[in-house]
Structures are given as structure tokens and as C-alpha cells.
Structure 1
Amino acid sequence: MSAWIEPALTLPQGVHVVTTVRHGLGESASPFNEFNLGLRSGDEAAVVQRNRQALADALHLPSLPHWLNQVHGTDVHRFSAVADVDAAEQVADAAVTSVRGVVLSVLTADCLPVALVAKNGQEVAVAHAGWRGLVAGVLERSVEAMATAPDALVAWLGPAAGPCIYEVGEEVRDAFLVADAAASACFRETRPGHWRIDLYGIAKQRLNAIGVSEIYGGDRCTISESEAFFSHRRDARTGRMATLVWMDP
């Protein structure tokens, strides 16, 4: 079994996007078994660091990934140099670079990872977009932070809580509808005060609205695909997958 999945699309030469799965590499014990990459998940830090090194080795990464301290916000950090192993993690929920060999990353376990790639292969970004981040505009902020025009970008929506099972309350639906009434099309009522939410659909709406029209992915569910993915909604105490984006040196 491979320890990661890749987008089913043709990327510019030398550009790579992967999302890890929960097996295939790693040594984390239950409930983080096996390939947990999140240091703040409750797993042993030394084990997570070994898992991270195993990922870098298996993918033959040009440098160590830049890991973020994610807070469900909208801050985007631009990285202009390879990762310093002793540097503190930047507090941000998205990252962008135009430097070849710099590896960007976000961690998820139901939230939506979104990779953004310039069609000319000169710039990449990745965002952590849970429902709070989507409402607040993390995708819009990520595109704004890029030097590439929106219509010159390709987006890939990685594994997230799927619309077939992800249920939210009235406060979540209201937050989206206040921001954009068109989001109502991405909710299906299941019982009084509760709706199934389509994070993928909302992300596509948001990206389309700012000029990003070439969008792929959005066909996996972290909650229902328990053998492949970690899910905080399903298991509460669990590990984290990583979505990595980089350009070859």
C-alpha cells in the first residue's frame, strides 16, 4: 500500500502534490496508527518526527517540509528558503512559494486541503480550509498572496469530510449564508437544525468567484474511508495526514 495519494491530473513538469494516508509508512501506535504526521495530535513527539523523516525519505523531498502551526485562520505565509530544522513553525493556515526546492505542507483530518499550482510551474501554494477557514476566506487570501493571476492557477481539493456524511448545525450554515447566500446549494437538511455540508462545493464556489476555474479532486471522504484516512469527526483522538506541494530544484 502506498503511503500517499496523488491528484489525477497533469501537473506542470517538476511540480508535485501528494496527500498522505494513514498506513504504508510510520510507527505510531493506536489511535494514531500508523502514519501520523501531526505533532499536536497527542502522539509521542519523537515518533511523529520519525514519521516525518520517513515521509521525506520516501518521497525523496528536495528539503524538509515547512510545517505550520494551524489555527483555523486566514493568514498565509510566503516561504523564500528551505526549512530550517530549528525554526519555530509559522502560525498560518496557508503557505505559498515561488522558490524551487521549498516544500509546503498543511495537516488535516477532515478539514479540506487545497493545493494551488501555477500553470506555468513557477509558483505553488497550499491551504488548510476547514469550515471556519472557508467562511473567513482562507482560499481567497491564499490566491491573493500569489503572484500568479487566478485564471492561471490549477486547484486540487484533497481528502476531506464528504457531503455524504458530514453533518453540521444551524450556526455553521448561517455563517456561510451570511458570507454568501449561494452557499445554500451546498447544504442538505437531515433533521431539524442540522444539515449535510458539501465543503468541496463551497470551495469550488469560492474559487470560481475569484477567477480560479480549473479545479480537480473533491471525491474522497475522510470520515467514511476509515482504512485510508484519519478523521477527527469520526474518532476524536486521531492522527493527521499531510498535503505537500513543491517544485523540483
Structure 2
Amino acid sequence: MNEWNVNWPAPRWVKTFATTRQGGVSVGEFGSLNLGDHVHDNLQHVALNRQRVEQYIQVTPYYLRQVHGTQVVNLDLLNTTSVPEADAAFLTQQGRAAVVLTADCMPILFCHKKEKIVAVAHAGWRGLAKGVIGNTIKAMGVSANDLMVWIGPTIGQQYFEVGEEVRDAFVMHRQEAHKAFISSHAPHKWFADLVLLAKQQLSELGVNHIYGGEICNYTYADLFYSHRRDQGKTGRMGFYIWLDAESESVV
């Protein structure tokens, strides 16, 4: 199973797994480890890919129906057949993994430095503008200062051209957000830095331990899917976080 390194100094009981596009059975533009069941891939291939991941991580993944919103799900209360409409999830129990799927949008993993609680969020520009990061931290019910965050592969600023409405959605609420936008050669167009926008929000909320965010998925076509690069005909990577049943007391 080909995975991407989640490089952060999380507590030993926090476990993570991040897929690339390699190591599955999907073919064509979905080759080969597509985990998205909504992108017109062969659903049998998707099921086999998800099964491979589950067998590898040895916990049950709980997938979401992502809608670029701010809804956060408590996975401790979710039954195994539910697929809620949400873009973030948290848990405190063992045996299940929180997961989001991406192909340009930002995957964000959260963990507490001392308490056994973890979360994951799917943050494209709409989710960021609406407050998915703040909602996730609020749902976790812990101090933001005690959280650690890792930002996974996300579309880089040089490839993410947006309109005035996207810039306005951020700048009208946070003046410093203008630093995350560079004017394009096209009229009324901007290149947006999603990672910087997320870091600004995290810092404002009180999160001081932020890792990752250096990798542009658009750049590495052999490793990562990209919705924009591949004009919508592409798969999805998965970003998983869970609590290790073998690691017990906090020291």
C-alpha cells in the first residue's frame, strides 16, 4: 500500500494514514487507488480499493458525503451503515477512523496533545470561507492551544485561479486574508493560497502547532489526483486518523 508520510510529532496513540493515487485496482483516469464513490469510477473497483485500505490500517473507516460545508460529525455516535452529509468528523473511541477524501481541497488532521481526541476536516475554499475549521475545533470541545494540526497535499497557489467572489468571501471577514491572493493576468482573477488562508484562521483561533502544507498535489500527477489539473475526471485520495488501541495511559 503506497502511503504519504504524515509528518508531525503527534502523541503515540494518534495514528494516521494518507493515500496517494497508487496501489489500487481502478483504471484509466481513476488509476489506481481511487477512494471516491461519486466520481463515476467502477464502484466495484472503489469498494476493493477501500477494502485494501481498511485491511491495511486495521480499523473501520467512516466516510462522509462531503458537500463543501461546515457540518461536523461525532463518529462515536455513528452507526456503521450511516454516511452523513458532512465535511468534518471527530472521535474519542477506538476501532474506527475519521476520513476525508480530496483531489485539490485541503485535508486537515487534528489531534490533542494530551487527551485522546482526533478529528479531520475537508477544506476547499467554500468550507474555509464558511468556517469548517472553527466548527471542527468547537465540536471537539477542547482548547485550540492544545491542538496539533497537519495539512495534507493541497492545490498550490500558482494553479488555483479564482474569481473576485472568492477573494471577497475571505477579505470581507478577515483583512489579512488579502495576503493569500495574488492578482492574475486575467481581469478580476486571483491566485488563492488555501494553505495560508487555513493557517491564518488556525492562528486566529489559537492553534499554534501547525505542520505540513508544503505539498501541491497538482504538481505531482504520478502521485496525487487533482480535480482542476485533470478537468474533473479524476479520483480521490483518503486522509485517515484514529486512536491506537495499544497505546493506553497518557504520560
Measured against the shorter chain, the TM-score band is: over 0.9
Shift of residue 228, structure 1, vs aligned partner: 0.9
Tell me the equivalent position of 1:96: 90
Any conservation in 1 of the 2:18–2:238 contact (CA below 8 Å)?
yes
Equivalent in 205, 211, 232 of residue 206 of structure 2: 211
Q: Distance in 2 between matches of 1:40 and 1:88?
A: 16
Q: Distance in 1 between matches of 2:198 and 2:61?
A: 25
Any conservation in 2 of the 1:121–1:247 contact (CA below 8 Å)?
no
Shift of residue 58, structure 1, vs aligned partner: 2.1
Equivalent in 184, 187, 200 of residue 178 of structure 2: 184
Any conservation in 2 of the 1:66–1:83 contact (CA below 8 Å)?
no
Judging changes above 3 Å, is the alpha-carbon distance between structure 1 residues 171 and 81 closer, same or farther for their aligned structure 2 residues?
Answer: closer
Q: Distance in 2 between matches of 1:240 and 1:34?
A: 10
| TM-score with structure 1 setting the length | 0.94
Equivalent AA in structure 2 for residue 197 of structure 1 = A
Any conservation in 2 of the 1:229–1:241 contact (CA below 8 Å)?
yes
Shift of residue 54, structure 1, vs aligned partner: 0.5
Equivalent AA in structure 2 for residue 145 of structure 1 = A
Equivalent in 97, 103, 111 of residue 109 of structure 1: 103
Q: CA RMSD in A?
A: 1.3
Q: How does 1:59-70 map to 2 (within 5 A)?
A: 59=57, 61=58, 63-70=59-66
Runs of 4+ in 1 over 3 A off after TM superposition: none
Tell me the equivalent position of 1:243: 239
Tell me the equivalent position of 2:24: 26
Shift of residue 11, structure 1, vs aligned partner: 1.3
Tell me the equivalent position of 1:234: 229
Residue 74 (structure 2) pairs with residue 78 (structure 1): yes
Equivalent in 35, 38, 51 of residue 40 of structure 1: 38
SS at match of 1:117: strand
| TM-score with structure 2 setting the length | 0.93
Q: Distance in 2 between matches of 1:225 and 1:164?
A: 14
Equivalent in 184, 195, 198 of residue 200 of structure 1: 195
Any conservation in 2 of the 1:106–1:126 contact (CA below 8 Å)?
yes
Q: Distance in 2 between matches of 1:206 and 1:31?
A: 34
Q: Which blocks of at least 5 consecutive residues in structure 1 are unaligned?
A: none
CA deviation digits over 1:60-102, x for unaligned, max 9?
Answer: x2x2200000010000000116862xx1301100000111222
Q: Distance in 1 between matches of 2:120 and 2:170?
A: 22
Any conservation in 2 of the 1:14–1:121 contact (CA below 8 Å)?
no
Identity score, percent: 39
